[in-house]
């Protein structure tokens, strides 16, 4: 109702929405949605970077604030990485169905950073992200930090810690991260419900 689609409460509600479904049903839900509306729309630069990293022996992990069963099938197939390397919101499975019980840490904001030592158990050499919610995770990198299409409009408040007084882009410029631009524009042929339901839409980022 408040338009916040990145907070921990919203992230938890996404998991609660799937309660009672089997992991296979949730995986199919995510896969079918991907095939219908998003297949072929990966940033080509991202896919090339992942391919290059794999070529040089890097272990690839994906960390999302979304329910992991929803994303694992299509991401594994699209990027050629094991499903177990795709981490997200974890719900406890009992008698074959998802429950309301959530496995901590919740992978958003500081929780996203805490997933790394909890489940991956080593500090990454390269971390990529795009939003304020990725700040803590990006700062777990002991090497390269890559920020895609960072916001340069909203000045962050005191609740955003070290980003206070800066835009996302301004903060990462100060921190020496690699900032890249990828073409991210709305497909006019796809109908999104966000505007109809009064939910904040993502900012368009055309590649210059």
Give the tens place of pLDDT for each residue, 124-150: 999 999 999 899 999 999 999 999 999
Q: Tell me: the pLDDT tens digits for 150-164?
A: 999 999 999 899 999
CATH number at residue 102: 3.40.50.1000
Instruction: Decide which of 101, 121, 141 is a domain's last residue.
Output: 121
1, 5, 64, 77 from 194: Cα distances, Å:
12, 11, 20, 28
Mean pLDDT of 71-85: 96
Pairing relationship of beta strands 97-103 and 86-94 according to DSSP bridges: antiparallel
Q: In the listed set 72, 93, 121, which residue is the last one of a domain according to the structure?
A: 121
Query: Please, which contacts does 99-102 make with residues 24 or more away whose CB atoms are closer than 8 Å?
Result: 99/19, 100/15, 100/16, 100/19, 102/12, 102/15
Reported pTM:
0.89
The answer to whether residues 127 and 164 belong to one domain is yes
By three-state DSSP, how is residue 17 classified? coil
Helix H or strand E encompassing 34:
helix 23-37
Q: If 0-12 CB within 10 Å is exposed, 13-18 middle and 19+ buried, where does residue 46 land? A: middle
User: Are 131 and 61 in the same domain?
Assistant: no
Is residue 75 within 8 Å of 87, Cβ to Cβ?
no
pLDDT, mean of residues 65-93: 96
Kindly state whether residues 108 and 15 are assigned to the same domain.
Answer: yes
Answer yes or no: do 67 and 161 share one domain.
no
Integer-rounded Cα Rg, in Å, for the chain is: 17
Reduced to 3 states (helix: H, G, I; strand: E, B; else coil), residue 132 is helix
Task: For residue range 94-117, list pLDDT tens digits in order.
Answer: 999 999 999 999 998 899 999 999
116 with 143, same domain?
no
Q: Which domain holds residue 160?
A: 123-208
**3-state SS class at 147:** strand
Total count of domains within the chain:
2
Q: What is the pLDDT of residues 31-64, one digit of tens each?
A: 999 999 889 888 999 999 999 999 999 999 999 9
108 with 66, same domain?
yes
In which order are the strands placed within the sheet that holds 97-103?
Answer: 62-67, 86-94, 97-103
102 and 168 within one domain: no
Rounded Cα gap, residues 93 and 24, in angstroms: 12
Whether residue 68 sits in one domain with residue 145:
no
Q: Mark which of 121, 154, 180 sits at the end of a domain.
A: 121
Compute how many other C-beta atoms are within 10 angstroms of the C-beta atom of residue 116: 22
């Amino acid at each position: 109702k408040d338009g916040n689609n990145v907070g921990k409460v919203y992230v938890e509600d996404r998991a609660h929405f799937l309660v009672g479904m089997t992991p296979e049903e949730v995986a199919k839900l995510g896969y079918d949605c991907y095939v219908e509306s998003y297949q072929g729309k990966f940033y080509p630069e991202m896919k090339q970077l992942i391919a290059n990293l794999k070529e040089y022996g890097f272990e690839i992990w994906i960390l999302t604030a979304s329910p992991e069963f929803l994303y694992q099938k299509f991401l594994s197939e699209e990027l050629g990485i094991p499903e177990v390397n795709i981490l997200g919101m974890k719900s406890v499975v009992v008698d074959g169905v998802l429950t309301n019980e959530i496995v901590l840490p919740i992978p958003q904001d500081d929780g996203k950073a805490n997933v790394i030592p909890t489940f991956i158990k080593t500090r990454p050499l390269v971390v990529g992200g795009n939003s304020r919610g990725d700040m803590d995770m990006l700062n777990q990198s002991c090497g390269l930090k890559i920020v895609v299409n960072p916001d340069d409009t909203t000045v962050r408040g005191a609740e955003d810690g070290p980003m206070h007084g800066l835009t996302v882009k301004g903060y990462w410029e100060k921190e020496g991260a690699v900032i890249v631009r990828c073409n991210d524009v709305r497909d006019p042929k796809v109908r999104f419900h966000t505007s109809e339901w009064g939910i904040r839409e993502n900012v368009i980022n055309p590649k210059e």
